[in-house]
Structure 1
């Protein structure tokens, strides 16, 4: 293996700017005794990235304070490039788990492993820390990333690409997590509406089709119709209220991957009594829910954010078995700012992934 370079470049957040910044001549961190240097093989672009630039990073949990600058990119997959001295000593006792060249996807949040949520397997809701790769700590929009919390390293199956593994950390995991919460309600006769066929919505359709339910998908983009149908949607509409004959209060479950007032209002119109609204999209910071109308129909509203490490490992198994095929477009890392503008301007279909070490 060639010597580790001394510097790299990356893209990230600067408190003084609303657009992503390129950082040149970044020093590559030295590896501590119990740390790993990960070579970034793939990093995904997400709508949370422009949200971070506009609204600021995910708030840190005191006494930590938000950083004024950090490298963004929270969908990350890579290979072990360098290991710390203590890990080197213990390799025989860990079955070479962290051997150089081993492939890992990252769990986005820094799970502590000992809080009440981590101890019951809900490490995605860790209460001890609110640190997250690319959202308030250095992430994957660079060539090398120092891993201090080894719990965040999740092994990638041999037949899963780095690109698919990176996308799995959020674009697949988030809808998977939301669906797992309500899967006990999904029957072959269940009628389900998926609002929004972006990166997450398309993956939700692929996950849902494995439950044999009837899936109706909606999106304002007409050109996404063929993809949604090929992924498992039974019907697709640009405007379900104008274009379809579906009766009001006729859906058992609605997954909202948009998160704006219009989609909430559509859910109110189409959810049947004792139906479930699963909120995932973050299109607006605040929404008005029809309190009385939801109450008298006993509508269940569930909010979702990310997922847990065991679910992420399961997602990669689904990809390995061909049950999910992420819709990935690989873009030159040097063109990251342009790809981000395309995402903001609704020109992206599926998920954009960069390969920082293939320049």
Structure 2
């Protein structure tokens, strides 16, 4: 257990330099709560900051605590907090607007340029024993929702936001490109929203098997086919072109395949982030009126996600394939970097290592 006044944290200093170190326990200010962290998932972005020291224009310039897929227990509340109390179990929404700008007023606060986001430079994340957060973005968990399910609301929210932007509805035929954690939650959400058939592609046979487990109807293991050949395989197995494609890899060839595969008049949602500039068949998309939409994280999804988990309409528990205590975080990050399993979960409370 951490000694009094110590706060073990996973900190990236620069590309390739990841450390476990103690930091002071923070004090909650107005409208903040101090949390004892319980479960924190490792995201691909955490690994990317460790390996490369940056994601696009977000550059690690000073030591930064990683972690943003998280749930924990309220220890103390700051002035003005009335909806939470010590002992409450909560899931953390990591993006908090710093000001009420035009995007917040329109309900799209995720697009605010002034947003605080856990583990995005210069803001620290919550992969530590103790963490303080804006109380308005901490959501109480029902008794039948575990800490790990609470932590998985963050990636689940990406799937919810993507499927909303795509317009998934009863009877939709959906193509999901990529069966990593985000592809898998997209499958879960699409099926819950009424998709009749979901086809998933990936390079990895084990990940496609996991996609089957969570509800995918058709899986396709791709190898070295061209993007048009992949699109043809999707159409052949589905029996038609899908109305909706959700691209979760960010790989140029996969974006191309998504455009070719999507039915005329359909929608392609770009979730995965890759190179800033990619070559795509834009004239093909334009001539066939394929709408191309992006998403940036999520907004207004935590209450819906909690309701779905509490009602057991969605089961995210199969996504967790590895668990490590916080003290073995470096090993956990290596496991994620090697692409083993699906979701690696770090257990931050030494007194409670349960899900």
The question of a shared fold, defined as TM-score above 0.5 by the shorter chain, is answered with yes
Structure 1 distance, partners of 2:12, 2:120, is: 9
Aligned counterpart, 1:134: 119
Structure 1 pair 353–31 and aligned structure 2 pair: CA distance change class (3 A): same
Structure 2 distance, partners of 1:33, 1:294, is: 50
Aligned counterpart, 1:76: 70
Equivalent residue runs for 1:317-336 within 5 Å: 317-326=307-316, 327-329=319-321, 330-336=323-329
Extract unaligned runs of 5+ from structure 1.
Answer: none
Structure 2 distance, partners of 1:230, 1:322, is: 16
Structure 1 pair 176–203 and aligned structure 2 pair: CA distance change class (3 A): same
CA contact (8 A) 1:76 1:139 kept: no
Structure 2 distance, partners of 1:67, 1:80, is: 31
Matched, 1:355 2:351: no
Q: Among residues 179, 182, 188, which one is paired with 1:206 in the alignment?
A: 188
Tell me by how many angstroms 1:55 deviates.
Answer: 4.5
Equivalent residue runs for 1:106-117 within 5 Å: 106-112=92-98, 114-117=100-103
Structure 2 distance, partners of 1:354, 1:133, is: 16
CA contact (8 A) 1:259 1:279 kept: yes
Equivalent residue runs for 1:130-279 within 5 Å: 130-136=115-121, 137-147=123-133, 149-169=134-154, 171-183=155-167, 186-188=169-171, 190-210=172-192, 211-239=194-222, 241=229, 244=233, 246-247=235-236, 250-279=241-270
CA contact (8 A) 1:138 1:145 kept: no
Structure 1 distance, partners of 2:184, 2:4, is: 39
Count how many residue pairs are aligned between Structure 1 and Structure 2.
337
CA contact (8 A) 2:161 2:297 kept: yes
Structure 1 distance, partners of 2:216, 2:336, is: 24
Query: Could you give the per-residue CA deviations for residues 258-303 of structure 1, whole angstroms, max 9, x where no partner exists?
Result: 1101201211321221221111112434322222221111111111
Query: Could you give the per-residue CA deviations for residues 138-193 of structure 1, whole angstroms, max 9, x where no partner exists?
Result: 2121100122x322222222211111111112x1000110101122x5341x3211
Cα-Cα RMSD: 2.6
Give the TM-score of the pair, scaled to structure 2.
0.86
Structure 1 distance, partners of 2:213, 2:308, is: 18
CA contact (8 A) 1:175 1:203 kept: yes
Give the TM-score of the pair, scaled to structure 1.
0.85
The alignment partner of 1:73 has SS state of coil
Equivalent residue runs for 1:93-104 within 5 Å: 94=82, 97-104=83-90
Extract unaligned runs of 5+ from structure 2.
Answer: none
The alignment partner of 1:348 has SS state of coil
The alignment partner of 1:145 has SS state of strand
Query: Could you give the per-residue CA deviations for residues 197-237 of structure 1, whole angstroms, max 9, x where no partner exists?
Result: 11111111111112142111111111223321232211111
Q: Which moved more, 1:251-260 or 1:117-126?
A: 117-126
Matched, 1:313 2:299: no
CA contact (8 A) 1:209 1:232 kept: yes
Q: Which moved more, 1:68-77 or 1:285-294?
A: 285-294
Structure 1 pair 283–347 and aligned structure 2 pair: CA distance change class (3 A): farther
Aligned counterpart, 1:20: 18
